[in-house]
Amino acid sequence: MSEYRAPIRDMQFVLKELAGLDEVVQLPGCEEASADVVDAVLEEAAKFAEGVLSPLNMGGDQEGALFKDGQVTMPRGFKEAYRQFAESGWTALGCEPEWGGQGLPKLLAAPVSEMWKSANHAFSLCPLLTSGAIEALVLSGTDTLKQTFLEKMVSGEWTGTMNITEPGAGSDLAAIRTRAEPQADNTYKVFGQKIFITYGEHDLAENIIHLVLARTPTAPEGIKGISLFIVPKFMVNDDGSPGARNDAWCVSIEHKLGIHASPTAVMAFGDKGGATGYLVGEENRGIEYMFIMMNAARFGVGMEGVAVCERAYQRARDYARDRVQGTDIGVRGGAKVPIIAHPDVRRMLMSMRAQAEASRALAYVVAGAHDKALHHPDTELRKQNQAFADLMIPVVKGWSTEIGIKVASTGIQVHGGMGYMEETGASQHLRDARISTIYEGTTGIQANDLIGRKMARDGGATLRSVIGMMRALDADLARQGNEHLSAIRTRFQAAVDELARAGEWLVANYAKDVRAASAGAVPFLTLFGIVAGGWQMTRAALVAQAKIDGGDSDPFYPAKVITARFFADHLLSQAEGLASTVIEGATGVMVLAEEQF
């Protein structure tokens, strides 16, 4: 059975050559992340992912989380793995030192989280949600709330959740009806039900800190009337220990297509008199605060797309090396060969590899921009990096998760009929990945956010800036006489032109015909993802070719050039069709009357 192996070599290359690690570690507050520290962290994370989390993945999927009498029991080995995870400091990696964290940059947290997600997707969701809750509290909580909850959450002793969705309120947050009634002691009594709550109940930690969206009695209608509350599973004693049981209960867990070892809870608040809650920040600003968590979670879910690309690729590659079937194409009567020799299998494996590497590079570059937006001493550079990160988050989330599903599906195809059988493990990747394009905002929501808030609102200024950075590569490409870089240049130039054409059309037409623009939103996000991924692969090819020209014999570099060439020929070549769909495709979307469907 194929086990996960962390792609440390590619991670290091992307961190150092594309994502600007050297610059990030010089930022105020990031100095601890020296090259030696980064390499050591990656090596230790790889050991944990490969040796602890990966071996639990298939068994966790088969066993699943068990619900009984309001309690959830995790699959065998998960509780011990989580204890080791927390004791090793992994929950504290990117958290503020003030609360016991290690304060390492997001750029280092990105590859580490990728390892957790590749090795054991279901396990990784618990620290993902806790990290988002920590970030919301750090930025919006009172000193009392921070002192009460943060240290235990950062240490991993307590975990966190996001409680947003209700039976009658999915993506339409204005429809939320959970209510919070103020009490004389400045607490609130919370009443309502939430669904799809990841790790809403489990036995990994001694307390669970729920962040819950609810309305106060005087709240206005719509999203402007929603507040955010902390509702702990157990109340907290004066000495910081868990106290009495709060009126927040898991009433069931969902039976899902995948991520079986991640309990998705239905939570009931206030069925026994009211769950005690604490207001986070100010009343009626809950959506603003929740989006702090949401943006962190959206990047994290995008990393799930990267991670499943890598994991599905590794499993398919290993199978293709071992599976002997057929002779070499064009050879009659020859010896049987591993299927990796067959051109179509090679094509599938290269598509998986190229998309894994491109999505990784894009995500890490965005993580580096996030660090610069937070820590750079130059105000203008902070603004520029924040604008870039804001623009790219929906692309990282939407494109990476969409290709994650496709790559996982391709992995099954490489296995042939055995891929459809559970014992190979290939089908689990597809089942686990399928939710990633839905939660934390569907691909359609990401795409509408991209073309509306992120492009139309600033008149396309940030998009034009990014396209300018893409086009700036042309001078370096033009100096290369290399066959592969010349081919990449041709494809990349054409793809950037198509991105610009579609982007300008959307900006010009968004206000005039928002329905037509929205009909092309997801194709545009796909186009943007492909071109942005191609941008990073083109940069990678330039660096790799320079290493080769300088006499470096590491086989990593020619492989990187060829992978970038494949990405250009097979993915960047799709740009013209996608741009035409964005600009001309709305009629076919909107013309039928509802009764004609």
pLDDT in tens, 204-252: 999 999 999 999 999 999 889 999 999 999 999 999 999 999 999 999 9
Q: For the chain, how big is the Rg over CA atoms in Å?
A: 24
**Could you read off the pLDDT of 333-356 as tens digits, one per residue?**
889 999 999 999 999 999 999 999
HSE (side-chain half, CA atoms, 13 Å) at 225: 15
d(C-alpha 304, C-alpha 323), whole Å:
28
For 66-178, strand residue ranges (E) read 66-68, 71-73, 158-163
| Closest-CA residue to 111 (of 300, 326, 374) | 300
pLDDT at 59: 97
User: In the prediction, which pLDDT does 1 show?
Assistant: 65
User: Between the CA of residue 595 and those of 108, 516, 591, what are the distances in Å?
Assistant: 52, 20, 12
Report the pLDDT value the prediction gives residue 296, as an integer from 0 to 100: 79
How far is residue 247 CA from its own chain's centroid? Answer: 32
Residue 277 β-bridge partners: 188
| Structure-block tokens of residue 469 | 């950075």
pLDDT of residue 330: 85
pLDDT at position 169 is: 77
Q: By C-alpha distance, which of 368, 391, 365 is closest to 535? A: 365
Question: Residue 597, Cα to own-chain centre: how many angstroms?
Answer: 34
The CB density around residue 435, as the number of other CB atoms within 10 Å, is 23
**Reduced to 3 states, what is the DSSP secondary structure of residue 86?**
helix
CA distance 541 to 560: 6
Distance of alpha carbon 2 from its chain centroid, rounded? 24
Catalytic residues: 440
Per-residue model confidence (pLDDT) at position 485:
97
For the chain, 597 residues long, the average pLDDT of each consecutive 10-residue run is 93 97 94 90 98 98 97 98 97 93 94 98 96 91 96 97 88 86 97 97 98 95 93 97 97 98 98 97 91 82 98 98 93 92 98 98 98 96 96 98 98 97 97 96 96 96 98 93 94 98 98 96 98 98 97 98 98 98 94 92
Residue pair 173/224 in contact by the 8 Å Cβ criterion:
no
pLDDT for the residue numbered 524 = 98
Residue 218: CB atoms within 10 A of its CB come to 9
In sequence order, what are the residues at sequence separation of 6 or more whose Cβ sits closer than 8 angstroms to the Cβ of residue 332?
none
Q: How many CB atoms lie within 10 A of CB 157?
A: 16
Report the half-sphere exposure of 50 (CA within 13 A, side-chain side). Answer: 14
- Sequence-distant (≥ 6) Cβ neighbours of residue 410 within 8 angstroms: 312, 316, 348, 351, 352
